[in-house]
Structure 1
Amino acid sequence: MTGTTSPITTAYLNLSPDIRARAEEIAGNNRPVTWPEVLLLVGTAMTASRWMPIETVRRNKSVIFCCWWKHQPDTPFIAEGYLDWDGVTWRLQNGEPWPADRTAPTHWQPLPAPPATEREAME
């Protein structure tokens, strides 16, 4: 008997290792899963890559992508920054104060995980 792999398994195995690891982390030990559980897993994964209102930002000095609008409502500006421990002061990633000519961020998104190796970064 020859071994065959389903198209779903093949597609999964073709994902990058970091994506597979994150999917397995989100899914946990949910086997077998019901349709609502599948939807919950997909929704959880999608939430991690969406812009969220600034009111939900973590107040632990984690560097994030910050988004705000200045003068043009259809042109967002994006920078790496964080909310300082005081919960009020915004700073750029390097610790410098948030530039006075920028309004405070309105949305945020976590930074992606860095590549584990140089080789992975080149793929």
Structure 2
Amino acid sequence: MSNLFCWCMAYEPLEERRLYVRAELVADGIWELIAGWPEFTRDTVGKQLVRAADSIGANIAEGGGRFHPGEVRQFLYYARGSLCETKFFLRRAAKRMLINESRFLALDSELEQLAKEINATINYQKTRST
């Protein structure tokens, strides 16, 4: 894969930022989980869960391509919203017994850590000059 050099967030390639890497890992883990589901569950909860998880990283990436701190923050807010949506559908999947408890807890823990990193990055962006 080619590198996207989005230098606006801490002057390093986007693919090397822990926040972006964690978002990719979560999205890939969810994709692998959903791929084995029956058609009905994939087409309902599954697709929503994958879209929400993919949207976290997509918004981090789009924010990384922006220069103005306000724009960067806005896309991080979108990423945080997508993370909340992902958690909602993950809970639905667990309640409907589509995933086992240990897998749910592992993904939920990753999402919690990602949320903390998104919030820390938002707070950092608030310190940048406008």
TM more than 0.5:
no
The structure with higher relative contact order (CA 8 Å, sep 6+) is: 2
Higher Rg: 1
- TM-score normalised by the chain length of structure 1: 0.29
- TM-score normalised by the chain length of structure 2: 0.28
Q: Which structure features the higher share of strand residues?
A: 1
